[in-house]
Amino acid sequence: MATDGAAPADPKKNLLTFDTEEDVAVALAKYTAELSAKFAAERGAFTVVLSGGTLIETLRKLAEPPYLGTVDWSKWHVFWVDERVVRKDHVDSNYKLAVDGLLSKVPIPTGQVYAINDALSAEGAAADYETVLKQLVKNGVLAMSTATGFPRFDLMLLGMGPDGHIASLFPGHPLLNENQKWVTHIMDSPKPPPQRITFTFPVIKSSAYVAMVVTGPGEAGTVKKALSDEKTFPLLPVEMAILQDGEFTWFTDKAAVSML
């Protein structure tokens, strides 16, 4: 997937580096819009997975011309790779973060934005979310990976923490080894709030495309470890996200790769 204005990509790592966060935002919008058109044409649906943190702000260019008026938003189906088990209107809710940002500015049908059931426990919310995904597979909205037998989302837009966690999969946590469930729950997140749901590694690894978006100097040390040719163990969760049959691309600015 070509992206204008980037430094040459490392063919081994699919690393795109831009001068500034603003440049990353411009490139990420173009990349996402191109994939939206591709999957809407091929499948009649575009399944997009969001994460929390600064990602929603980096997607801001999608709500501006030319994308606002040209993207077929009616084909979008929006999910969350992880969610804090709080009310939808709580300040910690990733759903609220996205709705207050990008989703309030683009005309995606409300029935195609899949929040967790915030009336349930963490365990119940995870099970319910997996049930929703399985119904969407039956309806033909969500694809399945023939390589893994897990759902194959068209695009996951991910960030990572300074500790290398992605979704709510944290270094050293037993959930890193979950290989049966699509969605599971965590009661003891080392980063508050402690109760969350999260997609599991088999689902993340089954994606058609993953964009790992990292800007600013805060994760520069983690980026260095993740992209090093000399692996040290234990691996960080971000290092474990090796796609089975998909394309993983890093979108970074110069500050994020300043230690490479």
Query: Which residue type is seen at 66?
Result: P
Burial of 119 (0-12, 13-18, 19+ CB in 10 A): exposed
Phi, psi of 28 (to 5 degrees): -65, -35
Q: What is the pLDDT of residue 2?
A: 47
Render pLDDT for 133-154 as a digit per residue (tens, 0 to 9).
999 999 999 999 999 999 999 9
CA distance 214 to 233: 22
CA 45 vs. chain centroid, Å, equals 17
Could you give the domains of the chain?
Answer: 19-253 (3.40.50.1360)
pTM for this model (two decimals):
0.95
CA distance 84 to 117: 11
Query: Which residue type is seen at 233?
Result: F
Render pLDDT for 221-251 as a digit per residue (tens, 0 to 9).
999 999 998 888 999 999 999 999 999 999 9
Residue 187 has a CB neighbour count (10 Å cut-off) of 11
Q: What is the pLDDT of residue 3?
A: 60
β pairing state of 143-144 and 209-214: unpaired
What's the pLDDT band for 9 if we cut at 50, 70, 90? very low
Q: Say yes or no to pLDDT of 93 above 80.
A: yes
Render pLDDT for 160-183 as a digit per residue (tens, 0 to 9).
999 999 999 999 999 999 999 999
Q: Say yes or no to pLDDT of 10 above 50.
A: no
CB 146 within 8 A of CB 140: no
Q: Which residue has the higher pLDDT, 145 or 8?
A: 145
Q: Which residue has the higher pLDDT, 11 or 42?
A: 42
Given the structure tokens 């929006």, which residue do they identify? Answer: 78
What's the pLDDT band for 157 if we cut at 50, 70, 90? very high
| Average pLDDT of the residues in 33-59 | 97
